[in-house]
Amino acid sequence: MKFAEENSFDIKDKIKADVPVVLPIGAVEAHGGHLPLNTDNILAEKYADKLAEKTNGFVLPVLPFGQVWSLRDFPGSLTLSNATLSALVSEIGVSLYQQGFRIFVIFSAHLGNMTALKDAGRNLYDQFPDMKVMYIFYPELQSLAAEVRESSANHHTYVHADEIETSLMLYLSPEDVNMERAIDDPPILPEDSDYTPTPWQKFTSTAVLGEATLATAKKGEFLIERTLEKSVEIVEKAKKEIREK
């Protein structure tokens, strides 16, 4: 159910503690030449739609800006601070709580948002410990990716404009992918990149972190549907716990 498409008269009877509300969050950032700047917004919105449908929940309009410190100097990238993003999400959560909702699911298709979302979740917990807040990024994606990946993983966490993320787009939004411009540009990340601030232009000039030419819609379908199963499981558990209170 699209939250913003409801009207005030009708939604009042649909606001219930055990009805999840999903907030999709993405970013505007460089994704090479074959994917648009709003790739993460497209993925976040379409994934959240599926999650809300499978859990009988509402989905909010996508929050289109995120924390993009690593890619902020690439053409087209826009960034918020962690503090700003955390405050935005926290205040949305407060508003939902005041309306009567008790399950707030934040799905981010951009990994860089997760620090801010965890902070927002903690802020909401401190205010409303009876509210279930979940911040999700494709559960178990890395282990699932290992089952379909033809290329080598270039990082233990990152998937960006590579075989994996391009496959997600080919499944969810093929019309937004230009495979004629896809390239293979696996970077060599500095050894200290995981524990010291490292702008990505230090190891890539394209923002493509892998072999995008190996992407397929079939791989994307496997990854989306399998991670979605886990996401649904997480939300259904929260619904059960709310009902049992």
Cα distance between residue 240 and residue 245, in whole Å = 9
Tens-level pLDDT at each residue, the chain (245 residues): 999 999 999 999 999 999 999 999 999 999 999 999 999 999 999 999 999 999 999 999 999 999 999 999 999 999 999 999 999 999 999 999 999 999 999 999 999 999 999 999 999 999 999 999 999 999 999 999 999 999 888 788 889 999 999 999 999 999 999 999 999 999 988 888 889 999 999 999 999 999 999 999 999 999 999 999 999 999 999 999 999 97
Please give the model's pTM, rounded to 2 decimal places: 0.97
Do residues 38 and 26 make contact, with C-beta atoms less than 8 angstroms apart? Answer: yes
Task: Provide the domain limits for residue 222.
Answer: 3-244
Instruction: Give residue 206's identity as a one-letter amino acid code.
Output: T
Nearest-CA neighbor of 165 among 223, 113, 227, 204?
223
Domain count, the chain: 1
List the CATH number of the domain containing 50.
3.40.50.10310
